Amino acid sequence: MCSSSPKVFGQILNIEQSRVDRDTSGYFTGKAGFSFSMFNRNAGKDNPNNYLQLTFTGDVAYVAEKHSYLLLNYYNYLLVNYDSKELRNTVASTGYSHFRVNLFRKRRLSNELFTQLQADKARGLELRTLAGGGVRYRLLKRKNSGIYLGSGFMHEHEEWENPEEENRLITSDLLISTNYASIKAKINELVSTEGIVYYQVGYDNRIDTFRNRVSGDVTLQVKLNTRFSFKTNFSCTFEDEPIVPVTNFVYAISNGIQVQF
């Protein structure tokens, strides 16, 4: 799959995109996507800025009789050549790998365990690791739709590069309450949508106040055939007390092709 136009890719984790609600068990399922773009922008008559961007997504799920297992992966690489004469390049990469277990998945109130490894060097996040658990509540379930709520706790470790001080990493370790609400709906045989909203909060002793994070992800998917779908996605994050001085609100809008296998 490829694209000739520039894109901005988000990495707000939508765990609902890879959940499976079939009644059968003992099988693997998954999906993968790849996008490529190359373009330039003016930076002088004979010296344009050149951009190269690659994005990969790959999700795998195993559904057992009592439990389900999700492995979610995302990686985006952006190379900017802003002075071709001196071969000066800027590289920004973002990505995550998330593993989640849903224990006793068929129950209305089930349990979840999860862990994640993440980086977002475009914003200065060198490393984020987290691990935790909680409960998941099925508020509503119909044939082609559902509403779910989740709540739990996690330990989060972060390493940020301070944009105001070179070669200095700021680290943080917090116990965080993590909560989400999600919805999945099938509009017709070809069109479906899903979304999730997270609210996470933890008390930071270093600044004697709470750090709040709100993030969301909404996807509209149009099926082209049995294997391929067109996807439009919007995601955003707001943090009221960033650990380092970075933009409080970030968002991304993307379009692409997804293959189901």
Q: What is the mean pLDDT of each run of 10 residues along the chain (261 residues)?
A: 33 57 72 81 64 87 92 88 60 88 94 94 89 96 90 95 82 94 92 94 91 94 90 91 88 84 67
Predicted confidence at residue 221, as pLDDT, reads 92
Predicted confidence at residue 88, as pLDDT, reads 60
Predicted confidence at residue 122, as pLDDT, reads 78
201-224 burial: b if 16+ Cβ within 10 Å, else e: ebeeeeeeeebebebbbbbbbebe
Pairwise CA distance, residues 192 & 257, whole Å: 15
Predicted confidence at residue 220, as pLDDT, reads 94
Nearest Cα residue to 78 out of 37, 126, 127, 125:
37
Average predicted confidence (pLDDT) for the chain: 84
DSSP for 121-168 reads: TTTTEEEEEEEEEEEEEEEEE-SSEEEEEEEEEEEEEEEEE-TTSTT-
Pairwise CA distance, residues 180 & 18, whole Å: 16
- pTM comes to 0.76
Show the domains of the chain with their CATH numbers: 15-260 (2.40.128)
Sign of the alpha-carbon torsion through 154, 155, 159, 162: positive
DSSP for 62-129 reads: EE-SS-EEEEEEEEEEEEEEEETTTTEEEEEEEEEEEEEEEETTTSSEEEEEEEEEEEETTTTEEEEE
Predicted confidence at residue 138, as pLDDT, reads 94
Pairwise CA distance, residues 141 & 139, whole Å: 7
Predicted confidence at residue 10, as pLDDT, reads 36
Long-range contacts of 3-8 (CB under 8 A, 24+ apart): 3/35, 3/36, 3/37, 3/255, 3/256, 4/37, 4/38, 4/39, 5/37, 5/39, 6/37, 6/39, 6/51, 6/53, 7/35, 7/37, 7/53, 7/55, 7/254, 7/255, 7/256, 8/252, 8/253, 8/254
Q: Which amino acid is at 109?
A: L
Look up tokens 């301070």; give the residue. Answer: 162
